[in-house]
Amino acid sequence: MNIETKQQHVETTMRLAPVIPVVIIDDARYAVPMARALVAGGIPAIEVTLRTPAALDAIRAIAAEVEGAVVGVGTVLSARDLHAAEQAGARFAVSPGVSPGLLDAADNSALPLLPGVATAGEAMTLLERGYRHLKFFPAVPAGGAKLLGAWASPLPQLRFCPTGGISLTSAPDFLALPNVLCVGGSWLTPSDKLKSGDWTGIEQLAREAVLLKGVMA
């Protein structure tokens, strides 16, 4: 699969819903009911971050058992991460930044990558490598919606998924930008709801997030 085909897959995933949940999961037993709640609420794309030992098992379970879910892997830092996630059944990968080694590994992997950038220079470097769909991270500390909006004119080829410090309240500021297709957010799967098994509450958060489509450019 070449870079253009993989970028098309990334774009399709980004357009599934206004928000991609960024999930930190401590117990893989929560994965399937959590994912089913998100899908029922209208949020099919789910990023499970490699920040806990349970992450790969969670991805494996969602990929195997949750119809309608498009499960991806986040916090990808290396070729080993890409390979492990692909073996677990992930359908896309997200990185907080980029390195030459990670980009080389992505070239040799079938897993589509949504790489992270924080500066215009990083975005230009990735554009040279064929990437048109990027993660803007950490969105709020790096400059927020004003900075990302300022990139729209000089970098019209690029589309972004801003992630980092975004909430239901601030998401509309980003989604209204012409160069934003979706946002990433951890507020859809808060740790207290995961630990208490409040799947109805997570489904409701997903339904609220879907309504953000009305503010999109």
List active site positions.
Answer: 47, 135
Identify whether the C-beta of residue 46 lies closer than 8 Å to the C-beta of residue 63: no
d(CA 26, CA 15): 28
Name all contacts of 6-11 with Cβ < 8 Å and 24+ positions apart.
6/110, 6/111, 6/112, 6/113, 7/112, 7/130, 7/131, 7/132, 7/133, 9/91, 9/92, 9/112, 10/92, 10/112, 10/113, 10/114, 10/133, 11/132, 11/133, 11/159, 11/181
**How many Cα atoms sit within 13 Å of 124 on the Cβ side?**
6
Report the distance separating Cα 172 and Cα 1, nearest Å: 34
Mapped onto helix, strand or coil, the DSSP state of residue 192 is helix
Fill in the amino acid letter for 215.
V
Structure tokens, 9: 């897959």
Measured in degrees and rounded to the nearest 5, phi and psi for residue 12 equal -60, -40
* CA distance linking residue 49 with residue 46, whole number of Å: 10
